[in-house]
Structure 1
Amino acid sequence: MTSRHVERFLEMMVAERGASPRTIEAYGRDLADFAGHMRVAGRPPEDATADDVRAYLAGLAAAAMTPRTMNRRLSALRQFFRFLFAEGSRADDPTATVDSPRLGRPLPKYLSETDVERLLDAARAIDGARGLRATALLEILYATGLRVSELVSLPLSAVARDPAVLVVRGKGSKERMVPLSEPARDAARAWIEARGALLGEAAARKNRWLFPSRSKDGHLTRDGFAKMLGEIAVAAGLPPSKVSPHVLRHSFASHLLAHGADLRSVQQMLGHADISTTQIYTHILDERLRTLVNSHHPLAGKG
């Protein structure tokens, strides 16, 4: 049976906030579940303490509920108790001192080095200028870890003089320098020589982008590159759903760390403002450390 306080709260959600029937149903279900928890304690939900709320969340965690769903339940409780406090039905809000369950961060998806090589081989197998463009795109992306928007909007001047270091203008117009590998430089040179074949020599000469197109921006679009990458994945025998520009960016960072690069250098090359963003890759460092210990520690494998 729904308490009158819960009923009044749901009525307020409809009248003052215009909540949809589906939202009201979800809030009602979440509050009913909490009321069931409080019933075991012999008290109505509106009399809950902070410890009651924490015990409820602990029970959800023990039942293997996801942190995202637990946060949704806690959000419903926060709004309910804030309503009771605002209208004077309670002198405090028991959820005010309760921490939200940590969502955590999903591990980045990345390809193996073998799979990246398969992609590159498939790009190289494409005939003519399209193949040279596809190869240049993949070589530069895998060599630098650029964001897809940074990659497709590279100006021709960025690589025209065959630089060993690529200067990239990233988020907030901040510039950063990223080393450009020899294979990427070779691919860029080959593409520049064939660049006029897709748009026509006259149009290509007037276009300032490394990867020109007839789009309104004048360069290859993000969607155009994603579609191209999907076709290359199929040719390489890889599921297109597992291959994307961002997966290649993750692969760049993961493979660098696996081969000994330090986190701060990878942060700078990726253009992350805060190293905490780069720390999603620490699982690679953890795996490398485990491998080192298992391979070189005198007591590894004993016991």
Structure 2
Amino acid sequence: MSAAWIEAFLEALAAERGARANTLAAYGRDLTDFRAHLTLRGSDLAEADRDAIEGYLAGLEAAGLAPSTRARRLASIRGLYRFAWSEGWRADNPAARIRSRRPPRPVPGVLDEAAVMRLLEAARCPAGSAAAQLRALRLRCIVELLYATGLRVSELVSLPLAATAGDPRMLLVRGKGGRDRMVPLGAEARAALAEWRAVRLAGGASPGPWLFPANGGRGHFSRIAVWQQLKRLAAQAGIDPAEVTPHGLRHAFATHMLANGADLRSIQALLGHADLSTTEIYTHVLDARLKALVFEHHPLAAPGTG
């Protein structure tokens, strides 16, 4: 019965939430390990209570598993029992009141606005041979889009050419879990996109399906190629290459938007986060802004008052 519960739960995740294969495999491993733990103690998923779950988690801690791993195992168990309760297989959810002791997620290092402007300026200066100028135009478009939209690099390189037709003000992006979202484009990003598209479509030959085709002509440009070119561009702009990554530009997009007045829910939608808790790593920006607002506008917050 226990194995059937796990199988049904994974099928529901795939059918109802569009969970990817890697996600399903991780849930499956976590729950199979928990089930094996219960079996060794003469129990199963249908009988386990809160003490059994907490005992399992304590064993993981004693074995030296990282807090993040233990938190993920608990999330898997909690999800399974929520599903079992909704299906009427159990009258309770024994994991419902167990809280994870997962440490707060670290705030990612973020390029400041001046550094991003230097990076963009370096990308706007194509020079050299025709081939070098072509590569520079492509890189400029990539950098402009990454910073203007907050796209994941995997989302960017897999953009279809057809999705960018007609000088779009919005891009339709397919994100994690097959979820689609609309992302607006600013003037600089649209200009870089239009210039790159004109080059892509020149020559009359079939342009292929991707906005950024691979150099070899098969598939799209790779994530690692974007990473490598950003490193070279950072050095050209006088920025430590270790500080510049595609995901770093995504973090810069979110942080700079919040610092300039955007709300957290809007950032969640633009980044394609399924859960607001994922976006909350950026609340340090909101904390700083709110503190500045109090010191600037509250009548008793000025130095020397009170």
Q: Give the drift of 1:148.
A: 0.4
Please give the alpha-carbon distance, in whole angstroms, between the structure 2 residues aligned to 1:179 and 1:133: 20
Q: Give the drift of 1:264.
A: 0.6
Q: Please tell me whether the aligned partners of residues 156 and 210 of structure 1 are also in contact (alpha carbons under 8 angstroms).
A: yes
Please, which of 135, 142, 154 is the counterpart of residue 130 of structure 1? 135
Whether 1:289 aligns to 2:294 is no
Please give the alpha-carbon distance, in whole angstroms, between the structure 2 residues aligned to 1:100 and 1:265: 27
Which amino acid letter does the alignment assign opposite residue 218 of structure 1?
G
Matched residue, 2:182? 177
Which amino acid letter does the alignment assign opposite residue 297 of structure 1?
H
Contiguous gaps of at least 5 residues in structure 1: 1-70, 79-96
Q: Please tell me whether the aligned partners of residues 129 and 195 of structure 1 are also in contact (alpha carbons under 8 angstroms).
A: no
Contiguous gaps of at least 5 residues in structure 2: 1-57, 66-96, 128-132
Please, which of 136, 150, 158 is the counterpart of residue 155 of structure 2? 150
Please give the alpha-carbon distance, in whole angstroms, between the structure 2 residues aligned to 1:143 and 1:295: 30
**Does the residue aligned with 1:195 lie in a helix, a strand or coil?**
helix
Please give the alpha-carbon distance, in whole angstroms, between the structure 1 residues aligned to 2:275 and 2:135: 37
Q: Please tell me whether the aligned partners of residues 145 and 249 of structure 1 are also in contact (alpha carbons under 8 angstroms).
A: yes
Please give the alpha-carbon distance, in whole angstroms, between the structure 2 residues aligned to 1:232 and 1:264: 32
Matched residue, 2:304? 302
Please give the alpha-carbon distance, in whole angstroms, between the structure 2 residues aligned to 1:166 and 1:137: 14
Which amino acid letter does the alignment assign opposite residue 108 of structure 1?
P
How many pairs align?
212
Percent identity of equivalent pairs: 52
Matched residue, 2:88? none
**Does the residue aligned with 2:183 lie in a helix, a strand or coil?**
strand
Which amino acid letter does the alignment assign opposite residue 277 of structure 2?
S
TM (norm. structure 2) is 0.64
Q: Give the drift of 1:173.
A: 1.4
Q: Please tell me whether the aligned partners of residues 215 and 221 of structure 1 are also in contact (alpha carbons under 8 angstroms).
A: no
Q: Give the drift of 1:73.
A: 9.4
Aligned Cα root-mean-square deviation (Å): 2.5
Q: Deviations over 1:115-151 (max 9, x none)?
A: 0000001111232222211111111111110000001
TM (norm. structure 1) is 0.65
Matched residue, 2:207? 206
Matched residue, 1:263? 264
Change beyond 3 A, Cα 1:72–1:233? farther
Please give the alpha-carbon distance, in whole angstroms, between the structure 1 residues aligned to 2:163 and 2:253: 20
Change beyond 3 A, Cα 1:171–1:77? closer
Please give the alpha-carbon distance, in whole angstroms, between the structure 1 residues aligned to 2:298 and 2:232: 45
Q: Deviations over 1:53-85 (max 9, x none)?
A: xxxxxxxxxxxxxxxxxx99942399xxxxxxx
Q: Please tell me whether the aligned partners of residues 200 and 207 of structure 2 are also in contact (alpha carbons under 8 angstroms).
A: no
Q: Give the drift of 1:216.
A: 7.3
Which amino acid letter does the alignment assign opposite residue 142 of structure 2?
L
Whether 1:247 aligns to 2:248 is yes
Please give the alpha-carbon distance, in whole angstroms, between the structure 2 residues aligned to 1:193 and 1:172: 32
